[in-house]
Amino acid sequence: MARAFLDTNVLVYADDADAGDKRAKAQALVLDALAHGNAVISTQVLQEYFAVATRKLSVPAETAQKKVEILAALVAVTIDADHVIDSIKLHRLYKLSFWDALVVHAARRAGCDRLLTEDLQAGQRIEGVEIVNPF
Predicted pLDDT of residue 56: 96
Q: What is the mean pLDDT of the chain?
A: 95
Query: Residue 1: pLDDT above 60?
Result: no
Tell me, what amino acid is at 70? I
Predicted pLDDT of residue 2: 77
Mean pLDDT for the stretch of residues 29-57: 95
- Whole-number Å distance between alpha carbons of 122 and 119: 9
All domains of the chain, ordered by start, with CATH? 4-132 (3.40.50.1010)
Q: Give 47-103 pLDDT, tens digit per residue.
A: 999 999 999 999 999 999 999 999 999 978 999 999 999 999 999 999 999 999 999
Given the DSSP bridges, would you call strands 125-126 and 129-132 parallel, antiparallel or unpaired?
Answer: antiparallel
Full 3-state SS string of the chain: CCCEEECHHHHHHHHCCCCCHHHHHHHHHHHHHHHHCCEEEEHHHHHHHHHHHHHCCCCCHHHHHHHHHHHCCCEEECCCHHHHHHHHHHHHHHCCCHHHHHHHHHHHHCCCCEEECCCCCCCCEECCEEEECCC
